[in-house]
Amino acid sequence: MASMRRSVHGSSSPSSSGIAHRTANARWVDSPPNHHARMTDRDTSPGMTHAISVRLDDQALHALGLLEATGMTRSEAIRAALVETASRRQEKQAIAAEVAALEADDDDRAEMLAVANVMESLRAAG
């Protein structure tokens, strides 16, 4: 008896080489008899090769829902949130480093005090 080709959607067609599963883009993939192979083709952007799994609390699920409500896919929303958060943190670190550098600059501190004294004298005179 010939084995059957079976799609992931439940339809079947005969196959002499074994069992086959239809993938997301409707290709038939043969597998040897008594071997259950599963193959999925996904439409992902070039370079998207790393999958992760996360557990979201209620606050994160709510935030994800807000992003999805803008028309983004779940993956797009998560990627955008990660990139934007990392960018904001880098900006904060750069600003903190600049503030630390300015505070350590004795010449800059002296100039700031001189400007503050001029401003104070103008305010007192007015």
**Domain locations along the chain:** 1-42, 58-125
Q: Which residues lie across from 13 on neighbouring strands?
A: 5
Q: Percentage of the chain surpassing pLDDT 90?
A: 49
Q: Is the dihedral of CA 34, 35, 36, 39 positive or negative?
A: negative
Check the CA dihedral 56-57-59-65 and report its sign.
positive
pLDDT at 124: 75
The Cα 50–Cα 72 span in angstroms is 19
Q: What values do phi and psi take at 25, rounded to 5?
A: -100, 25
pLDDT band at 30 (very low <50, low <70, confident <90, very high): low
Task: Give residue 22's pLDDT band: very low, low, confident or very high (50, 70, 90).
Answer: very low
Q: Which of 75, 83, 21, 77 is nearest to 49 (CA)?
A: 75
pLDDT tens digits along 40-65:
555 556 666 788 899 999 999 999 99
